[in-house]
Structure 1
Amino acid sequence: MQPLILFFATFSAAFIASVPPGLLNVNAAKTSVEKGKSNGVIFGLGVAVMVMLQTYLSVRIAKYLSRNPDIVEMLMQLAIVVFAVLAIFFFFKARKDGVKPLKLKEGKKRNSFSKGMFLAAINLLTVPYYSGLNSLFHGQGFMNYKVIDEVIFILAAGLGTFLVMYLYVFYFNKMERKTNKFSKNSNYILSGLMLVLLIITLIRVFYH
Structure 2
Amino acid sequence: MNYITPFFFGFLSAVVGIIPPGLINMTAAKVNHKEGKKNALWFVFGAVFIIAIQVFFSIIFAKIIHRRPDLVALLREVGLGIFSTLTVYFFWLAKKPKDKTKKLGAKSVTKRFFLGMLLSALNFFPIPYYVFVSISLASYHLFSFDTTSILIFVNGVVIGSFLVFYFYISFFNKIESKRDFIMKNMNTIIGSITGLISIITLFNILEYYW
Relative to the length of structure 2, the TM-score reads 0.85
Deviation at 1:3, TM superposition (A): 0.8
- 1:80–1:201: 8 Å Cα contact kept in structure 2? yes
- The one-letter code sitting in structure 2 at the alignment partner of 1:97 is K
- 1:2–1:142: 8 Å Cα contact kept in structure 2? no
In structure 1, runs of 5+ residues without a counterpart are: none
- 1:93–1:187: 8 Å Cα contact kept in structure 2? no
Question: Residues 7-50 of structure 1, C-alpha deviation per residue, up to 9 Å, x if partnerless?
Answer: 12221221232111111100101122232211100111111111
1:160 aligns to 2:160 (yes or no): yes
Q: Distance in 2 between matches of 1:5 and 1:196?
A: 22
Deviation at 1:92, TM superposition (A): 4.5
Deviation at 1:104, TM superposition (A): 5.4
Question: Residues 125-172 of structure 1, C-alpha deviation per residue, up to 9 Å, x if partnerless?
Answer: 111111121112222324222221111011110111111111212221
Aligned to 1:199: 199
Deviation at 1:188, TM superposition (A): 0.5
1:147 aligns to 2:147 (yes or no): yes
Q: Distance in 2 between matches of 1:13 and 1:109?
A: 33
Aligned to 2:185: 185
Q: Distance in 2 between matches of 1:116 and 1:93?
A: 31
- 2:5–2:143: 8 Å Cα contact kept in structure 1? no
Q: Distance in 1 between matches of 2:204 and 2:136?
A: 13
Aligned to 1:6: 6
Q: Distance in 2 between matches of 1:108 and 1:47?
A: 19
Deviation at 1:77, TM superposition (A): 2.6
Q: Distance in 2 between matches of 1:128 and 1:196?
A: 17
Q: Distance in 2 between matches of 1:2 and 1:182?
A: 38
Aligned to 2:16: 16
SS at match of 2:32: helix
SS at match of 1:2: coil
Q: Distance in 2 between matches of 1:200 and 1:158?
A: 25
Aligned to 1:51: 51
Relative to the length of structure 1, the TM-score reads 0.85
Aligned to 2:114: 114
- 1:44–1:162: 8 Å Cα contact kept in structure 2? yes
- 1:3–1:142: 8 Å Cα contact kept in structure 2? no
Aligned to 1:28: 28
In structure 2, runs of 5+ residues without a counterpart are: none
Aligned to 1:97: 96
Q: Distance in 1 between matches of 2:125 and 2:43?
A: 19
- The one-letter code sitting in structure 1 at the alignment partner of 2:102 is K
